[in-house]
Amino acid sequence: MTALPTRSTIRWEQDETGVVTLVLDDPEQSANTMNQAFRESIAAVADRCEAERDSIRGIVYTSAKKTFFAGGDLRDMMRAGPADAQRIFDATNEIKRSLRRIETLGKPVVAAINGAALGGGYEIALASHHRIALDAPGSKIGLPEVTLGLLPGGGGVTRTVRLMGIADALLKVLLQGRQYPPRRALENGLVHEVADSPESMLAQARAFIDAHPESRQPWDVPGYRIPGGTPAQPKFAANLPAFPANLRKQLNGAPYPAPRNILAAAVEGAQVDFESACVIESRYFTELVTGRTAKNMIQAFFFDLQAVNAGRSRPQGVEPRTVRRAAVLGAGMMGAGIAYACAKAGIEVVLKDVSAEAAAQGKAYSEKLCAKAVERGRTTREKADALLARIHPTAEVADLAGCDAVIEAVFEDTALKHKVFQEVQGVVAPDALLCSNTSTLPITVLAEGVERQADFVGLHFFSPVDKMPLVEIVRGGRTGDEALARAFDLVRQISKTPVVVNDSRGFFTSRVIGQFLNEGVAMVGEGVEPASVEQAAAQAGYPAKVLSLMDELTLTLPRRIRGETRRAVEEAGGTWTAHPAEAVVDRMVDEFGRTGRSGGAGFYDYDADGRRTGLWPGLREHFTRAGAEVSFEDMKERMLFSEALDAVRCLEEGVLTSVADANIGSVMGIGFPAWTGGVLQYVNGYEGGLPGFVARTRELAARYGERFEPPALLVRKAQRGETFTD
Ligand code: NAI
């Protein structure tokens, strides 16, 4: 017998017919996780199942929490270093052994999935013969471990491979970590049934037990073969080399160990028996848990994201408010997207432009998105029609009466923005929240154009609005706490993630991404082969290559911003230090007339439809010099360091007030590589910690210029043995 658990996280409830309900209910946590208490509890449950086998007719896993089961014990994983490898390996194997003992008891086992079952939760369900998901709102099913730099180590790789075959398991479940709503999970074979109510779910579970008194997993039936074959079979073996190649392409050479380990665990595990496959899975899991990337990603995408969304940067003590009717000014690319995002969240939107036609065109954007969503089965026609009915296009200011929030997205021009706020401020609700989506103009200056400056705030969306999850909230010099909190609530209301920053040129995101762009362009100026610069960005893990991104944004925009910033610095009595990228951009625009993709030519050439056809050969002719190569390591780190150093300066200057905001804003807003866990987590996780980072940045400064000198805050923290935390 296993020792009794320190605290039981599973309640045993057996009815008179012999059906045992295992109620997952950790008494000390708000959600169930695969912690030590669970490991002990599930072992004790397996013991009891075996001891009382004859009196058991069937087993149902369900949970007393809102979510079925949350997954692994992430806090424990954050502490796990290489010295913990054996402990983690053993613990993982032990949980799997207990689930396996219940799975092979010879009695029907059903998972009654009453809420989200992600990661460990779905692994418990996979160890059941029958899976029923309650169609509860917000309920999701899947194995998203890869998004935290992990792999499903509770049998998830081993069982999905046996359930759906290697290819489907990798593509549908393991490699992208997709989260399926219950009905989608059903369509994709992750569950067997969906239930409409908790009562019917339990009735369905009983019906399965009645009909299958000796249920077994497909892989425990003699003669079972993995669907689609295994690498040992000739047909499969012929396709196998394509997997790593596809994976490499997908990852672009970026340092993500989890997909590689998942692939290895799936392929190696498919060639051996179930028990051996479980051990292989544990080995690859342990390697990830004790490594650096998983810690970075858990920090950012679990702890930081939770803190940010929960309101870490929201002023305390302001009553939460919901927006009912929003005025969106300007129905161009951004306004149209913002209108869609608001209407999707149930907000009535008055979408105003200079003419009724322009406004209608803005609404047409939502019509297109809705049509696509209906076609792909992501929404119903009724819901799409209701969304569209909430968008009211107009050219009349009077139609904005009663709006409790204004989001301005007209052309980037201070005088124009002042003018439109003048027009609307007397028409909308007297306490309406006033927001500008400017990407470059100081919020404090824009606020001077309105009567209620305390109610004025920056609400910086990213393009395309419907896809980008982040909104940067900018507090101007006179923005009040109330407005800031209301802006925060509005962003949450439309299900986006808000980071809060103080007003500064380029705020946080545009300013930091500017460093990345400058660094890449500077390399071209040094004579480095442009294709190498692009490759270095990809290998560092950036989703967009540096020169192609520059073309998208246009070369003229950063030039204009640079001009404005320079004027502001000089007017304030400072001296402007030119970045080596500036000369390259000036030559590209002035000498060669290449302004970026919208101008038909930039660092790349484009065809008549605006498609990239290749890097402009003139770059090699005019810039590239033999012998000017910079090592790949230096190139990658120059890009990453330039952004990280500027984020530290943002913290130092008070533009940022939270490390979590920096990490989340950088990854979700401007494509800082996800494996790092964000700009400041990258510094924390750098080899040798902060002192290692400081030493390396001094090296870069000596080689490439003063801009790499470490800011005082970084040096101070390194000396004190601190890291960047909130
Ligand atoms: P856009 O040029 O696509 O749209 C601007 C719209 O404003 C046009 O439809 C125009 O007719 C309308 N407009 C002009 N004067 C108006 C008035 N008096 N009343 C009502 N509507 C008026 O520009 P886009 O790209 O949508 O940008 C809008 C704002 O969003 C700018 O401030 C820009 O800096 C900012 N932004 C842009 C991002 C981008 O990726 N394009 C990202 C984040 C912010």
514: CA distance to ligand 1 center in Å?
21
- 273, exposed or middle or buried, with CB in 10 Å at 0-12, 13-18, 19+? exposed
Q: Which amino acid is at 5?
A: P
Three-state DSSP state, 603: coil
Per-residue model confidence (pLDDT) at position 105 = 97
Note whether 594 and 606 are within 8 A (CB): no
Q: Where are any strands of DSSP class E within 106-175?
A: 109-113, 117-118, 130-134, 141-142
Q: At what angle do helices 156-164 and 274-289 cross, to 10 degrees?
A: 130
Chosen CATH of 510-720 out of 1.10.1040.50, 3.30.300.160, 2.60.120.10, 3.60.20.10: 1.10.1040.50
Per-residue model confidence (pLDDT) at position 480 = 98
Q: Under CATH, which number does the domain 325-503 receive?
A: 3.40.50.720
Residues of the chain with pLDDT under 50: 1
Per-residue model confidence (pLDDT) at position 560 = 87
123 belongs to the catalytic site: yes
E strand or H helix that includes residue 433: strand 433-436
Note whether 109 and 125 are within 8 A (CB): no
User: Per-residue pLDDT tens for 102-155?
Assistant: 999 999 999 999 999 999 999 999 999 999 999 988 899 999 999 999 999 999
408: CA distance to ligand 1 center in Å?
8
**CA angle at residue 412 from 408 to 417, to 5 degrees?**
50
546: CA distance to ligand 1 center in Å?
25
Q: Is 393 in the pocket of ligand 1 (CB under 6 A)?
A: no
Per-residue model confidence (pLDDT) at position 4 = 62
626 backbone φψ class: left, alpha, beta (φ>0; ψ -120 to 50): beta
Tokens for 66, please give them.
């809102």
Q: Is 568 in the pocket of ligand 1 (CB under 6 A)?
A: no
For the chain, give the number of residues.
726
Q: Is 70 in the pocket of ligand 1 (CB under 6 A)?
A: no
Tokens for 33, please give them.
């996780």
Q: Is 335 in the pocket of ligand 1 (CB under 6 A)?
A: yes
**CA angle at residue 596 from 593 to 600, to 5 degrees?**
75
| DSSP assignment of 458-518 | EEEE-SSTTT--EEEEEE-TT--HHHHHHHHHHHHHTT-EEEEEE--TTTTHHHHHHHHHH
Question: How many CB atoms within 10 Å of residue 51?
Answer: 11
Q: 145: closest CA among 91, 77, 82, 201?
A: 77
> For residue 501, which phi and psi values (nearest 5 degrees)?
-135, 165
Tokens for 263, please give them.
């692939």
Domain boundaries, the chain: 10-290, 325-503, 510-720
Separation between Cα atoms, residue 417 and residue 409, nearest integer Å: 9
354: CA distance to ligand 1 center in Å?
11
Ligand 1 site-directed mutation target among 328, 410, 439, most atoms within 8 Å of CB: 410
User: Per-residue pLDDT tens for 401-442?
Assistant: 999 999 999 999 999 999 999 999 999 999 999 999 999 899
Active-site annotation holder among 40, 103, 145, 408: 145
Q: How far is CA 341 from CA 349, 369, 497, in A?
A: 10, 11, 13
Q: Is 454 in the pocket of ligand 1 (CB under 6 A)?
A: no
Per-residue model confidence (pLDDT) at position 217 = 98
Tokens for 383, please give them.
């819901």
Q: 286: closest CA among 91, 142, 443?
A: 91
List, in order, residues 6 or more apart from 567 with CB less than 8 Å away: none
417: CA distance to ligand 1 center in Å?
10
Per-residue model confidence (pLDDT) at position 248 = 66
Separation between Cα atoms, residue 416 and residue 424, nearest integer Å: 13
Note whether 328 and 349 are within 8 A (CB): yes
Per-residue model confidence (pLDDT) at position 309 = 95
Q: Which DSSP state fits 601?
A: B
Per-residue model confidence (pLDDT) at position 239 = 60
Question: How many CB atoms within 10 Å of residue 396?
Answer: 12
Per-residue model confidence (pLDDT) at position 2 = 53
Question: How many CB atoms within 10 Å of residue 357?
Answer: 12
Topology annotation, domain 10-290:
2-enoyl-CoA Hydratase; Chain A, domain 1 (3.90.226)
Q: Is 420 in the pocket of ligand 1 (CB under 6 A)?
A: yes
**CA angle at residue 127 from 227 to 120, to 5 degrees?**
110
pTM: 0.91
Q: At what angle do helices 546-553 and 530-540 cross, to 10 degrees?
A: 100
List, in order, residues 6 or more apart from 163 with CB less than 8 Å away: 126, 169, 189, 218, 227
Separation between Cα atoms, residue 6 and residue 208, nearest integer Å: 33
Kindly report the protein residue whose alpha carbon is nearest to atom 36 of ligand 1: 439
Note whether 450 and 464 are within 8 A (CB): no
Beta pairing, strands 612-615 & 604-606? antiparallel
The ipTM, to two decimals, is 0.98
Q: Which long-range contacts (CB under 8 A, 24 or more apart) does 717-723 make?
A: 717/690, 718/689, 718/690, 718/691, 718/693, 718/694, 722/690, 723/683, 723/684, 723/689, 723/690
Separation between Cα atoms, residue 283 and residue 272, nearest integer Å: 15
Three-state DSSP state, 723: coil
